[in-house]
Structure 1
Amino acid sequence: MTEELYQVREIESLKDMIRTGADLYKEAPAFLIKTQKGGKYHEVTHRKLEKDMNALGSRLVDLGLSGERIAIIGENSYEWILSYFAVVNGVGTAVPLDKELSQKEIANLVSVAGCKAIFFSSSYEKYVKDLDIPVKLKFELYRNEDVPFDEMDMASLLFEGRKLLSRGDRRYLDAEVNPKEARIMLFTSGTTGVPKAVMLSHHNIVSNIMNVSRIVQIRPDDRTLSILPIHHTFESTVDIMTVLYQGGSIAFFEGLKHVTKNMIEARASILVGVPLIFESIYAKLWKQAEKTKRVKALKAAIKLNRSLQKLGVDKRQKLFRDIYDNFGGRLRMIITGAAGIDPKVLRGFHDLGLEVAQGYGLTETAPIIAGTPDGERKYKKTGSVGKVIPQGEVKIIDANEEGIGEIVYRGPNVMLGYYGMPEETAEVMEDGWFHTGDLGFMDPEGWLYITGRKKNVIVTKTGKNIYPEELEQLVGEIRYVQECMVYGLDGVETGDGTTVAVQVRPDYDAIKEAFPGGMDDEDVYKLIKGIISEMNQKLPNYKRIRHVVIRDTEFIKTTTHKIKRQDNL
């Protein structure tokens, strides 16, 4: 592997990125969209993207929205990202909203942000119709030719915008975009009461795009399938903007149950997702091998492949052709983030010939702080989230005897602050350093490892620190566990001090397969409790899990599939 950085083209703003992309890549596809549900993908070129953005932006200016905050909510789509680009590149400030929010939460956020307009997909019309907001702009994911255009429909906005441009209206085209000014407001959580909104600038985002591009190369013929919530910075910055910047293209999926079908249709070569998705895919690969009685053959192929690679020979594409065909035949890279992924899964994908890149970051850092550079060494560093991005700096502060401390970061992608919350901003910002709230350490070669969240640490009465994420990885490896959450309980069983507890959601399919005679709830509890007791014997006494709870419902999660700890206690 080489750790030399890739060359990048300098851009100052997202407007600059779209303009230079149109000049460089012209009629090459930027997006693949479906005009009919279940239909074929159609290409939107880099040049058309710029033209559509200018038309939509011109119409928004004509509607008197210059300098205003404009919310966006809806499914992953070309219309969503087009709205975003049009707003931030010459109109006002974009306020992306989580589409999983309730009607009350949406109303609260647009009120806190002071939005004067909102873009929404037609499926969210009922959420928006009663909002006290002056301008409501609708877009359709799939166009029904029998439905007449509304003057505030996306198609009508584009039509009117093109007319404005043809008459020489240059108000949008000539609008100055200050790269250091807040142009994006992203709510991290807090959907009731007083929510926290991260303010980001063009400079924050484009610096991150360029820095990610210095360590991970996207080919012009690469194509991703957009599946993560589009309002999230990991999806918008990494999966969409970085791919666009490097000349690749993005296809939009039709829903999680259509991922495999859409990958085949779009011939996707890169998939960006969260660990839960990839761990599930990996488990299904081996289950399929078991069903077809090919486990032995697959293990033999992996062993052969490892031997060949030591000799400098790579035959992974041929050895595992049937696996690639299941994903459309072109998948070459998986990019994961938002949470830690099981190192065994990373190594497993690599053995099957897939490159796996991992990223770490937060909304406040737009989002990437560290990532695994292109190359083979990541196989040996599978527990790491990679190296700090080229223009960033990381320090570990208040480290314990194991070298684990809080991760603080400084770089051009650090937010401008929390909107209207100077005290909360001051709590996490100190002399330009952002306090992430995450715990971790760096190895001698500069690779960063995350051990958990500062607020999640379980502290025993003897002062020992227990990182729930470490134990969750161990429990998660149990065959009969679907997912789990480790936490501390005060005074349970011992009467004082802190007891380590775990909530487990069993994998009932695996249990049924192993015990076809059936098991009742008590049997399931005894099975899992027994395996955890065996696991405990290999752990220091203070780390042992003493309290096990079986739950039959899914954990409450964020839209990026992270378990909300407090909401599940």
Structure 2
Amino acid sequence: MKTSPVLEVRTIKNLKDMIEQSSKLFANKNAFCVKTKDNLYKGITFSEFKDDIDSFGTALLELGIGKGFIAVIGENRYEWCVTYLSTINGAGVVVPLDKELPLPELENLLRQSNANVVVYSGKFDDGIKEMSPRLSNIKYFINMNTDEHENESFLSFWALLRKGKKLLESGKKDYLNASIDENAMSAMIFTSGTTDHAKAVMLSHRNICSNIMAVSASIYMDSTDSVVSILPLHHTYECTAGFLTMIYNGATITFNEGLKYIGKNLKEAQPSILILVPLILESMYNKIWEQASKKKSLKFKLKAGLFISNLLYNVFKIDIRRKLFKSVIDNVGGKLRLVISGAAALDPEVAKGFESMGIKVLQGYGLTEASPIVAVNRDKQYRHDSIGLPIPGLDVEISNPDKDGLGEIIVKGDSVMLGYYNNEAATKAVLKNGWLYTGDLGRMDENGFIYITGRQKNIIVTKTGKNIFPEEVEAYINKSPFIKESLVSGRENDKNDETIVVAQIVPDIDAIKARLKIDTEPSPEDVYNLIKSEIKAINKNMPIYKRVVDITIRENEFAKTSSKKIKRYLEKTRV
């Protein structure tokens, strides 16, 4: 199944070509708004951004490592973006690493990637220095926060940037003249490893640029848009959609200062677009209802407003949604028009609710191995329970569908990775005759909309041959206001004659306290009984073989990837 572009887009050969085009088209417009030490926002234009990329890239080449492997670790910030594009556009292969990883894991990945240089946030200075004697492959350690070099090995990002500017002024053009091999590995991305341990995905300029153009041809964005970058930049979803695609379209990027500052940063930056995962979006939606539930009159107004909004818009084509819900819109900055949700399944009711308030929510789907976007809903063609239509330029099929049309999602096209770094066996397991076998199960309707059921590795198969998708059961469970999150798996019953469904559950203690009308911590017995009654009610909506038979209450939340997906392979070993 292939789709045609909805919108016309300009062609880019590679990311160097992209930044050259954008710096001319949007020269004096702000590419970034960054917070200064005095808590004010400072604009950095597209022209200035390109100059910084060229300066830092020139300085990197001057270090004499050739086109090496350059790792980058840190929170979302301007220096991260400069490092990424400086590296990939002529200095070497960029290796973005997850800032949330424990230091021993970071050390392992720095070694596994064969990095020659690591550029890191000041927060990691102590850890990097502690592990540096064991990292013989790394020659230079570049701190984003220092203003001057510390010694011959520990350098300053800003001192290098200044040096690069001087080299360019003196006529040094090695970096500016560096050729780009659009088909060679230019980025090494370690997968988040929700079902297995991390593998290193090799991506090229062609992979990434084809994805940028395809996404831009599917959803309308332009240079009047702005975005608050919330998800971690090392993750390909945020890097391609929230960073590179925004630079391609001339949008302005502001950085979120941390999850607890999302509300504050949205009001300050007033974004028109957000790139989110369901966990954050659903939390925002639930807070709206929590606030309304504190007073019966507010809850009635919210319900009445949604009814009136939908009636006028859907029946009479009168759009007063943003006026009716001005207070909600103002709470997210006043200009938010579009949210793109990915990385996990989104509750369709959340998307419908935001749409009734005048904020379009479009769900998409992708994986690192596809650079990453595979499918997304369109501005005018969308289904809230679907991950959308294949992006232009990608061929998406359902492999070996069963009688219900369910099979593995496979993908072919320019966005598909080169393979896994130094892992031929893993590459051969997923790349077959040009097709990427995603490991995700889904179906496609007659209009090309794709519906995901779950991961192939996670399927619970009963002894009677029934297939149970844990993600589907978890979606039901997680709708309970008293449950924060859940993890469903299968195990043999006491007689060993059938597979039963069991669930680990993290309760929402605050919601339970409100339900029980108590201020103190509820007893374990009260928590268990309330959750058990919720599961009993949920079970009534599912076939007998899918019903949850046993539950375990957890005190701590599940281990997650930085894109907020549960590390299933890790949690299953703890059952």
Superposition TM-score tier, normalisation by shorter sequence? over 0.9
For residues 535 and 253 of structure 1, the distance between their equivalents in structure 2, rounded to whole angstroms, comes to 36
Give the deviation of 1:150 after TM superposition: 4.8
Which residue does the alignment assign to 1:498?
499
Give the deviation of 1:497 after TM superposition: 2.2
Which residue does the alignment assign to 1:299?
303
Measured against aligned partners, the alpha-carbon deviations of 1:199-220 in whole angstroms (never above 9, x if no partner) come to 0000000000000000111131
Which residue does the alignment assign to 1:335?
340
Q: 2:25 matched to 1:20? A: no
For residues 299 and 55 of structure 1, the distance between their equivalents in structure 2, rounded to whole angstroms, comes to 55
Give the deviation of 1:545 after TM superposition: 1.0
Q: How does 1:515-530 map to 2 (within 5 A)?
A: 515-517=516-518, 519-530=522-533
For residues 254 and 66 of structure 1, the distance between their equivalents in structure 2, rounded to whole angstroms, comes to 35
Q: How does 1:346-365 map to 2 (within 5 A)?
A: 346-365=351-370
Give the deviation of 1:321 after TM superposition: 0.5
Give the deviation of 1:149 after TM superposition: 5.9
One-letter identity of the residue aligned with 2:464:
T
For residues 258 and 357 of structure 2, the distance between their equivalents in structure 1, rounded to whole angstroms, comes to 26
Task: Tell whether the 8 Å contact from 1:364 to 1:415 is kept in structure 2 after alignment.
Answer: yes
User: Closer, same or farther in 2 for the Cα pair 1:195/1:265, shift >3 Å?
Assistant: closer
Instruction: Flag structure 2 segments of 5+ consecutive residues without an equivalent.
Output: none
Task: Tell whether the 8 Å contact from 2:377 to 2:388 is kept in structure 1 after alignment.
Answer: yes
Which residue does the alignment assign to 2:432?
430
Which residue does the alignment assign to 2:259?
256
For residues 561 and 423 of structure 1, the distance between their equivalents in structure 2, rounded to whole angstroms, comes to 28
One-letter identity of the residue aligned with 2:95:
V
Judge which range, 59-68 or 17-26, deviates more. 59-68
Which residue does the alignment assign to 1:221?
224
Helix, strand or coil at the partner of 2:233: coil
Give the deviation of 1:29 after TM superposition: 0.7
For residues 284 and 43 of structure 1, the distance between their equivalents in structure 2, rounded to whole angstroms, comes to 32
Which residue does the alignment assign to 1:137?
142
Instruction: Flag structure 1 segments of 5+ consecutive residues without an equivalent.
Output: none
For residues 4 and 198 of structure 1, the distance between their equivalents in structure 2, rounded to whole angstroms, comes to 27
Which residue does the alignment assign to 2:95?
95
Task: Tell whether the 8 Å contact from 1:41 to 1:265 is kept in structure 2 after alignment.
Answer: no
Which residue does the alignment assign to 2:111?
111
Measured against aligned partners, the alpha-carbon deviations of 1:185-211 in whole angstroms (never above 9, x if no partner) come to 0111579x9952100000000000000
Q: How does 1:355-394 map to 2 (within 5 A)?
A: 355-375=360-380, 377-378=381-382, 381-394=383-396
One-letter identity of the residue aligned with 1:501:
V
Judge which range, 283-292 or 449-458, deviates more. 283-292
Task: Tell whether the 8 Å contact from 1:109 to 1:195 is kept in structure 2 after alignment.
Answer: no
Give the deviation of 1:356 after TM superposition: 0.7
Q: 1:181 aligns with which of 163, 181, 184?
A: 184
Helix, strand or coil at the partner of 1:89: helix
Task: Tell whether the 8 Å contact from 1:493 to 1:499 is kept in structure 2 after alignment.
Answer: no
Helix, strand or coil at the partner of 1:101: coil
Give the deviation of 1:534 after TM superposition: 2.9
One-letter identity of the residue aligned with 2:308:
L
Cα RMSD after superposing both structures: 1.8
User: Closer, same or farther in 2 for the Cα pair 1:542/1:341, shift >3 Å?
Assistant: same
Which residue does the alignment assign to 2:312?
308
For residues 523 and 262 of structure 1, the distance between their equivalents in structure 2, rounded to whole angstroms, comes to 38
Q: 2:163 matched to 1:160? A: yes
Which residue does the alignment assign to 1:5?
6
Helix, strand or coil at the partner of 1:123: helix
For residues 301 and 363 of structure 2, the distance between their equivalents in structure 1, rounded to whole angstroms, comes to 29
For residues 51 and 239 of structure 2, the distance between their equivalents in structure 1, rounded to whole angstroms, comes to 20
Q: How does 1:60-75 map to 2 (within 5 A)?
A: 60-75=60-75
For residues 7 and 67 of structure 1, the distance between their equivalents in structure 2, rounded to whole angstroms, comes to 35
For residues 556 and 419 of structure 1, the distance between their equivalents in structure 2, rounded to whole angstroms, comes to 26
Helix, strand or coil at the partner of 2:191: strand
Judge which range, 361-370 or 266-275, deviates more. 266-275
Give the deviation of 1:496 after TM superposition: 2.8
Q: How does 1:441-452 map to 2 (within 5 A)?
A: 441-452=443-454
Q: 1:265 aligns with which of 255, 265, 268?
A: 268
Q: How does 1:410-421 map to 2 (within 5 A)?
A: 410-421=412-423
Task: Tell whether the 8 Å contact from 1:219 to 1:246 is kept in structure 2 after alignment.
Answer: yes
The alignment covers a number of residue pairs equal to 557
Which residue does the alignment assign to 1:488?
490
Give the deviation of 1:493 after TM superposition: 3.6
For residues 100 and 521 of structure 1, the distance between their equivalents in structure 2, rounded to whole angstroms, comes to 31
Give the deviation of 1:334 after TM superposition: 1.0
Helix, strand or coil at the partner of 1:335: strand
User: Closer, same or farther in 2 for the Cα pair 1:111/1:243, shift >3 Å?
Assistant: same
Q: 2:186 matched to 1:172? A: no
Q: 2:550 aligns with which of 543, 547, 551?
A: 547
Which residue does the alignment assign to 1:401?
403
TM-score w.r.t. the length of structure 1 is 0.95
Which residue does the alignment assign to 1:284?
287
For residues 256 and 455 of structure 2, the distance between their equivalents in structure 1, rounded to whole angstroms, comes to 32
Give the deviation of 1:3 after TM superposition: 8.4
Task: Tell whether the 8 Å contact from 2:5 to 2:392 is kept in structure 1 after alignment.
Answer: no
TM-score w.r.t. the length of structure 2 is 0.94
Which residue does the alignment assign to 1:124?
124
Helix, strand or coil at the partner of 2:90: coil
Measured against aligned partners, the alpha-carbon deviations of 1:506-527 in whole angstroms (never above 9, x if no partner) come to 1111111111147421122122
Helix, strand or coil at the partner of 2:19: helix
One-letter identity of the residue aligned with 2:467:
N
Report the identity percentage: 43
Judge which range, 363-372 or 104-113, deviates more. 104-113
Structure with the bigger RCO (C-alpha within 8 Å, sep 6+) is 2
Give the deviation of 1:313 after TM superposition: 1.2
Which residue does the alignment assign to 1:204?
207
Give the deviation of 1:112 after TM superposition: 1.4
Q: How does 1:18-57 map to 2 (within 5 A)?
A: 18-36=19-37, 39-57=39-57
For residues 60 and 448 of structure 1, the distance between their equivalents in structure 2, rounded to whole angstroms, comes to 44
For residues 22 and 425 of structure 1, the distance between their equivalents in structure 2, rounded to whole angstroms, comes to 37
Q: 2:322 matched to 1:317? A: yes
One-letter identity of the residue aligned with 2:104:
K
Which residue does the alignment assign to 1:238?
241
Helix, strand or coil at the partner of 1:90: helix
Q: How does 1:528-539 map to 2 (within 5 A)?
A: 528-539=531-542
Task: Tell whether the 8 Å contact from 2:362 to 2:384 is kept in structure 1 after alignment.
Answer: no
Q: 2:328 matched to 1:326? A: no
Q: 1:560 aligns with which of 552, 557, 563?
A: 563
For residues 243 and 221 of structure 1, the distance between their equivalents in structure 2, rounded to whole angstroms, comes to 11
Give the deviation of 1:566 after TM superposition: 2.4
Task: Tell whether the 8 Å contact from 1:65 to 1:92 is kept in structure 2 after alignment.
Answer: no
Judge which range, 335-344 or 303-312, deviates more. 303-312
Measured against aligned partners, the alpha-carbon deviations of 1:405-462 in whole angstroms (never above 9, x if no partner) come to 1111101000000011112101101110000000000011000110000000000001
For residues 216 and 273 of structure 1, the distance between their equivalents in structure 2, rounded to whole angstroms, comes to 15
Measured against aligned partners, the alpha-carbon deviations of 1:255-297 in whole angstroms (never above 9, x if no partner) come to 1111111111111111111100000000000111122441111
Helix, strand or coil at the partner of 2:217: helix
Task: Tell whether the 8 Å contact from 1:150 to 1:156 is kept in structure 2 after alignment.
Answer: no
One-letter identity of the residue aligned with 1:440:
G
User: Closer, same or farther in 2 for the Cα pair 1:254/1:537, shift >3 Å?
Assistant: closer
